[in-house]
Structure 1
Amino acid sequence: MNVLIVVATAGEAAGLADLPARVVVSGVGPVAAALATWQALARESFDLAVSAGIGGAYPGSGLQAGDLAVSSVMVQADLGAWDGENFLDLAALGLSVLPGAAHTGTFAVWDGAAQLAAALGAACGPTLTLGTVTGTAERAAELARRYPGALTEGMEGAGVAHAALLAGVPVLELRGVSNPVGPRDRRAWRIPEALAATRRGLAGLLEGV
């Protein structure tokens, strides 16, 4: 299986260079991720595109630093509009991320995701993409309520998924957990453990676990 791995930073890519896959550094955010993915897919044929990196874990997910999350769906969670205190998603607004088709920014994933998660002992559930990292407990709880079962928050997944959808390539997101979603406390971040979990997930995928 020819796999494209898209990561946001060179630091995330450094520990993956020896894996038998093409690793692309996109830059931060869904737009950067979509453009880098589209460029890579236009140059070479891939069987699977993977958005990989570290992320925060949502309250109620049960995930701790160093755990691995595998996407069941990939969601662009901040697409919509605020009406006072109420968030209106694209469905409520009658809008779509695709011209001529109803698509509200929740992207289906590769059909082997659940099997991979089970083999790796990882959680499998929705992974959320936001353009701005959540910084309060209240906001984290609100997102967890809006998207039941949400596991992790990242900034690139939905961008990779959007480009892969347009190219007709299956997609997956793998996130190693570095911290809880909520108030920023850099002292609590466990980035090496999160990177190790991400690598473990990618290695398992590529080895056909």
Structure 2
Amino acid sequence: MSITVLFPTATEASLFQHPRVQTVISGVGLTATAHQTSKLIAQHRPDWLILAGIAGVYPHAGLAVGEVALVASELEGDLGFFTPQGFTHLAHLPLDMDFARRHTLHCPYVDAVSGFTLARGVSLNAAMAPFIDTSAVDIENMEGAAFFHVCLQENMRFLQLRAISNVALPGEDDWDMAGSVQALTDGLHRLLAQLGA
């Protein structure tokens, strides 16, 4: 079985080693991740493609710094425009109901593994953007929606694993980078063992 793990940064990948798993650094953000995900699928088409990285948690989510979660859904939270009344997401436009239905991307493969907390993710170009409605999501990252979109379009089996590194609020500077990278690595090994790697 061929498995590729995509990490946004070398820091997130720094503790991970596995003799039967390919690792790739995608770069931070939606654009870099969409490019690298498309390239990996076109050139290698692994049996599983996994995005692994850190994430911020919203205070209402009930997750703590250092926990690991499997991401069940993603949305691109800052896709929209500003009006005098504030930010409007494209999914809230009454003119395109089909877009609204397609707005939240779901991972159909989360049941392939067990023992992980499931989380709802939002991907942002600007972390902790104050105009985003975060009431229906748990964690924030900068890559997941692009990864989900490409994998779904290409019928690729995929999973996304995130370790909580910080509380996603402006002014909350208490990050645990070392602890979250260790938690991510440990969680990734658990996930891979369930996939048979």
Return the TM-score normalized by structure 1.
Answer: 0.81
- Counterparts in 2 of 1:15-54, with a 5 A limit? 15-18=15-18, 20-54=20-54
Question: What letter matches 2:18 in structure 1?
Answer: D
What's the CA shift for 1:124?
Answer: 0.7
Describe the SS at the equivalent of 2:82: strand
What's the CA shift for 1:115?
Answer: 6.3
Contact 2:91 2:103 in 1 (8 A): no
In the other structure, the counterpart of 2:165 is 178
Q: Given the alignment, which residue of 132, 144, 147 partners 2:134?
A: 144
Q: Given the alignment, which residue of 156, 168, 175 partners 2:143?
A: 156
What's the CA shift for 1:194?
Answer: 0.8
Describe the SS at the equivalent of 1:28: coil
> What are the ranges of 5 or more consecutive residues in structure 1 without an aligned counterpart?
none
Aligned length: 193
Q: For the residues of structure 1 that align with 2:19 and 2:178, how far apart are their CA atoms?
A: 18
Q: Given the alignment, which residue of 124, 134, 140 partners 2:128?
A: 134
CA shift in 2, pair 1:180/1:197, >3 Å: same
Question: What letter matches 1:126 in structure 2?
Answer: R
Describe the SS at the equivalent of 1:144: coil
- 2:104 paired with 1:106: yes
Encode CA deviations 1:175-202: one digit per residue, 9 max, x unaligned.
101110012444x110111112211221
Q: For the residues of structure 2 that align with 1:168 and 1:53, how far apart are their CA atoms?
A: 22
Q: For the residues of structure 2 that align with 1:125 and 1:75, how far apart are their CA atoms?
A: 12
Question: What letter matches 1:44 in structure 2?
Answer: H
In the other structure, the counterpart of 2:10 is 10
What's the CA shift for 1:43?
Answer: 0.9
Describe the SS at the equivalent of 2:125: coil
Segments ≥4 residues shifted beyond 6 Å: none
Describe the SS at the equivalent of 2:70: strand
Question: What letter matches 1:191 in structure 2?
Answer: M
Encode CA deviations 1:50-80: one digit per residue, 9 max, x unaligned.
2211110012111111011211112111112
Q: For the residues of structure 2 that align with 1:31 and 1:84, how far apart are their CA atoms?
A: 29
In the other structure, the counterpart of 2:183 is 197
Percent identity reads 27
What's the CA shift for 1:49?
Answer: 2.0
Describe the SS at the equivalent of 1:52: strand
Contact 2:78 2:125 in 1 (8 A): yes
Contact 2:53 2:162 in 1 (8 A): yes
Question: What letter matches 2:122 in structure 1?
Answer: L
In the other structure, the counterpart of 1:206 is 192
Describe the SS at the equivalent of 2:49: strand
Describe the SS at the equivalent of 1:64: coil
What's the CA shift for 1:107?
Answer: 1.5
> What are the ranges of 5 or more consecutive residues in structure 2 without an aligned counterpart?
none
Question: What letter matches 2:169 in structure 1?
Answer: G
Question: What letter matches 1:79 in structure 2?
Answer: L
Q: Which deviates the most, 60-69 or 159-168?
A: 159-168
